[in-house]
Structure 1
């Protein structure tokens, strides 16, 4: 695909994202046009009142009425424009973020997980760039011709030579808008790259902080972070300079036009120029008041060029993350039946990897059994679990779930997943337990608490299940947080549990207690657990080992 074709596709994609908020933005455009009309009425009233005052008489009632009424109506139209723009912007941003979330969450198509920095920039900053552009550009694009035609027609009726000056000046504006667009595009691309780099450095720093500290590499990482921040500052200032330069060119044209009209009005009032209809004080004041309004839509459209190029630079990152799920990959409620899992000739080969992560994997996991998967870090344990859970499709081969109801491919949401880290959301303990089933009854919640061995923990909390947790789960230990994860999984009533290092980083006593809680909570369910823990491996019914991409049954293990 050529660069020109890619740009056209990006512009078409960007235009399509405006659909959710288009109705509100069209209302904003109508209000902007009304604002212009009411402002013209207001300035006519002001010119009328000013003429009366300069003539030494009292302001007339019609002039005062036009000034007051036009001002109130203009303020109302401007307020409505802002509200409609905000509503349209919000709906566009929400629609884009919903599609992004569907693309970022595992849906069965994606072979490689998205880069966290790119995903963060796309979700937070790039989405706002797209919504801001539409909220700014679409109303301006619809209302600008109407507003400018209205002002030009009014000026022509009052004093047609002034309208000719405005028309001649406006012929230079499109060239300036194109210049603004070229400057904005170059700067927006560079700034997007700098933002992504800074986000990547920050995310990597937080994820690897313990390792960096142990290696004594904090000073080096601090230097990299400062360098990335300086690059972003430099590119941002460059964008500002380009915008100022292109804006200055436009201001020169606008200032010249207004000055030419002011000169014409002054000379006509002094009697040195006799072009057009006879110049009066009212006509001259009205022309001087409404001429600057003629260029206001052009200023707004020039600003929209800059926001448009920022939005266009964001399109590849945002659209690339929007992987639409297939029907088979959609999330479904879990089944309470115990599941048999069968992998047949499964192979997983990531595009950037030299060799397959998993190859020729053939195994069957019986219903209601505990199966442990052991192996060194990076051997493919988590990849195997993601295949079983339906998070990722195999490059080749099949993965099947079987129950008494029949056989199917893994379905997202059809099993319970517990990982190394338990995400605790701001809210109460009860809210965190029922995050997957907010409609769970008090009896079901208490059953989940008992199954996870959380009874003693809840009893010591000041407000029991209603005890609030801070962001990140302040007030609970790692083991207690894992028990909340077990209670969540128990509430899901899933017949298949997939556990990724559920006892990692726990002391032996806490680990032993957690294993007991897991065994109690999963009675009659099929459990697949990846672990480095000898104690957890010994508690399994079957143990598989991963080595060099192959999976072999290590032993039949007796339950402890």
Structure 2
């Protein structure tokens, strides 16, 4: 209706110029209509952008929760999960902020414009409505082709993201085996595939847009020819109307506006295909919903850990069945040859490794009911990961409530003081994710101190004495023994010294 008011104002103003009538009312209506149109467009864009932001934020929160809740046995690429959380959810922005408003406008706008044109020229309105048939057919054909290409583009982009992120994570291995050239070629090949898929999507978009513009221009031209010949009395057939200049110009001025919503829809149709392709790829990720919340366990008592017929499967490798008990408040050592599954059993207790069969029980809780015991456990693995930050910040990461003094005291207890003294910034030395700048033994000591600082009733340690000399090993064993008071500690180890100090030993075949 705003467009109709503007067209009416324009027609009356032009007629007034030709007939000498006053122009003030017509010009005022024209200015008011254009201002209202601009304000409506701004408001629509703002509301749509806010809606898109809310949807993306919610989906990103859910997808990130699901991705972080995946077990270690999940075969999905970390890079593909990152691509889903970042790129594919971002592709939904155009669907909600551009396509949905354009689709609503395209369903209502042409009918409103045609209704306004009917008041001035029913024949012109019939011409406009008749040209919608090929327009809709082209949009349907182009939409199907663009959707298929968009899906293939997302698949290629996911492969590129997964390959790139996973190779960055494994960069030390790539460099160690001098595989830089081979991996660079693979990344380049994946990037080339993404480029080709993107060009395919753009090619369809350009062709469909050209065809749609052709029919839109043809419709406007037919209305212009009809109105012009009608005014000149040169129509070769009779029509049930008689046009004057004001009505003819009103119909002609609204003809481009009839197709304006459809043009905006065509321009945003690519966003629809991208959004639907992204939604189809996100649906399996979000199908299971976020991981079940971990039920908290009181810190007033150390729990017993019981494994009942525990079986783990990693491809062709099967671990178990295993029946074992880690007594409450005691130090239990998991011992066995390399590859027997000691680290995998610890991961299963945390809920980070999928169970083939059996169950894990911590105190009165079952893993199947809680989804994982990471919330009540402190953990130090073989390859510790660190936060980008200082040594002090990494010490306090698992227990933000402890003071810096308490964190440094724990660092001293695990033997990190000499290592800190050798560095200019001491505990303010910054680390990256891999703990670069620290030796293997220093990284393990830092991870152990961080685990001991967490007030958790369950402590899981994976090879805590590896990379240590006999004197340092004896010190760490004594520290772990002391920490066993008030906690249940399970240690995976090859160390006979640590196994001898344990209250209970579980031997894996």
TM-score normalised by the shorter chain: which range applies? 0.7 to 0.9
TM-superposed deviation, 1:487: 6.1
Q: Is the 1:333–1:414 contact (alpha carbons within 8 Å) kept by the matching residues of 2?
A: yes
1:401 to 351, 358, 362: 362
Aligned residue for 2:302, secondary structure, equals: coil
Matching residue of 2:85:
123
Distance (whole Å) between structure 2 residues aligned to residue 197 and residue 522 of structure 1: 46
1:321 has 2:304 as partner: no
TM-superposed deviation, 1:331: 1.8
Aligned residue for 1:172, secondary structure, equals: helix
Distance (whole Å) between structure 2 residues aligned to residue 60 and residue 507 of structure 1: 98
Q: For residues 190 and 540 of structure 1, do their structure 2 counterparts lie closer, same or farther at Cα, with a shift above 3 Å needed?
A: same
1:85 to 48, 51, 54: 48
Matching residue of 1:76:
39
1:202 to 164, 181, 190: 164
1:216 has 2:178 as partner: yes
Matching residue of 2:127:
165
Q: Which runs of 5+ in 2 are unaligned?
A: none
1:387 has 2:348 as partner: yes
Distance (whole Å) between structure 2 residues aligned to residue 480 and residue 80 of structure 1: 58
1:450 has 2:413 as partner: no
Matching residue of 2:222:
260
TM-superposed deviation, 1:517: 7.1
* RMSD value, Cα: 3.9
TM-superposed deviation, 1:338: 1.7
1:365 has 2:326 as partner: yes
Q: For residues 276 and 504 of structure 1, do their structure 2 counterparts lie closer, same or farther at Cα, with a shift above 3 Å needed?
A: farther
Distance (whole Å) between structure 2 residues aligned to residue 160 and residue 470 of structure 1: 76
- Equivalent pairs counted in the alignment come to 497
Q: Which moved more, 1:301-310 or 1:234-243?
A: 301-310
Matching residue of 1:61:
24
Residue-by-residue CA offset, 1:8-38 (whole Å, 9 max, x unaligned): xxxxxxxxxxxxxxxxxxxxxxxxxxxxx32
2:259 to 289, 295, 312: 295
Matching residue of 1:3:
none
Distance (whole Å) between structure 1 residues aligned to residue 53 and residue 501 of structure 2: 52
Q: Is the 1:176–1:250 contact (alpha carbons within 8 Å) kept by the matching residues of 2?
A: yes
Q: Is the 1:452–1:521 contact (alpha carbons within 8 Å) kept by the matching residues of 2?
A: no
Matching residue of 1:422:
385
TM-superposed deviation, 1:127: 1.7
TM-score (norm 2): 0.82
Aligned residue for 1:171, secondary structure, equals: helix
2:57 to 82, 94, 109: 94
Distance (whole Å) between structure 1 residues aligned to residue 203 and residue 58 of structure 2: 33
Q: For residues 326 and 180 of structure 1, do their structure 2 counterparts lie closer, same or farther at Cα, with a shift above 3 Å needed?
A: closer
Q: Is the 2:106–2:261 contact (alpha carbons within 8 Å) kept by the matching residues of 1?
A: yes
Q: Is the 2:49–2:96 contact (alpha carbons within 8 Å) kept by the matching residues of 1?
A: no
Q: Is the 1:40–1:151 contact (alpha carbons within 8 Å) kept by the matching residues of 2?
A: yes
TM-superposed deviation, 1:221: 1.3
Residue-by-residue CA offset, 1:51-70 (whole Å, 9 max, x unaligned): 444x3858722222222222
TM-superposed deviation, 1:230: 0.7
1:308 to 269, 272, 275: 272
TM-score (norm 1): 0.75
Q: Which runs of 5+ in 1 are unaligned?
A: 1-36, 546-550, 553-560
Q: Is the 1:89–1:135 contact (alpha carbons within 8 Å) kept by the matching residues of 2?
A: yes
TM-superposed deviation, 1:277: 4.6
Residue-by-residue CA offset, 1:139-196 (whole Å, 9 max, x unaligned): 3333322212111111111222221110110122221121012211221222122112
| Higher Rg | 2
Q: For residues 285 and 523 of structure 1, do their structure 2 counterparts lie closer, same or farther at Cα, with a shift above 3 Å needed?
A: farther
Q: For residues 493 and 259 of structure 1, do their structure 2 counterparts lie closer, same or farther at Cα, with a shift above 3 Å needed?
A: same
Q: Is the 1:448–1:490 contact (alpha carbons within 8 Å) kept by the matching residues of 2?
A: no
Alignment of 1:514-529 (within 5 A): 523-529=485-491
Distance (whole Å) between structure 1 residues aligned to residue 49 and residue 471 of structure 2: 55
